[in-house]
Amino acid sequence: MGIVRRGAVSGACLLLALTGCSNSSSGGGSGSTTGASPSAPANSPNHLIIQSFAFRPTTLPVAPGAVVTVTNADQTAHTVTANSSGAFDTGTIAPGRTVTFTAPKATGTYAYHCTIHPFMKGTLTVR
């Protein structure tokens, strides 16, 4: 009896560990994934990556007037266009291309979108 119970418990523990792991990874952006994918420099500063019709990170903090690098990792063209016209606009970024734009000099929160896919939204925080 005792032995059977032990086996069941350790199996449950393993299951819990697995589900706990996947839960924490989808939980939030605060935890940094060290060495996850070396080819995608998502952690480098002032670097925006467009992948799967989404901006990563969704909120990018930069210094005033900083040069921001944008990599389009998708198979389709995108733009990074400030909602308030004139703040910044990369224009069309072809698939696989990397471009740069200069962040506004005034601190604040700048919402932006992709003009080709208006559902794509992100935020640039100048601070």
Is 70 or 120 the residue whose CB approaches Cu ion more closely? 120
Give the nearer residue to Cu ion in terms of CB position, either 99 or 116. 116
By CB under 5 A, is residue 70 in contact with Cu ion? no
Picking from 74, 85, 126, 71, the residue whose alpha carbon sits closest to that of residue 102 is: 126
Q: Give the residue with the Cβ less far from Cu ion, 62 or 90.
A: 90
- Residue 82 as a binder of Cu ion (CB under 5 A): the answer is no
**Spatial distance between the Cα atoms of 73 and 94, rounded to a whole number of angstroms:** 9
Q: Does the footprint of Cu ion cover residue 113 (CB under 5 A)? A: no
The pair of three-digit structure tokens given for residue 87, joined into one six-digit string: 């703040």
Single out the segment in contact with Cu ion by CB under 5 A; choices: 16-24, 39-47, 78-86, 90-98: 78-86
Alpha carbon distance 115, 28 (integer Å): 27
Contact 91, 78 (CB under 8 A): no
For residue 109, the surrounding DSSP H or E stretch is strand 108-113
Check residue 73 for interaction with Cu ion (CB under 5 A). no
* Length reported for the chain: 127
List 78, 87, 104, 126, residue binding Cu ion (CB under 5 A)? 78
CB of 79 to Cu ion, least distance (A): 6
| Residues in contact with Cu ion by the rule CB under 5 A | 78, 114, 116-117, 120
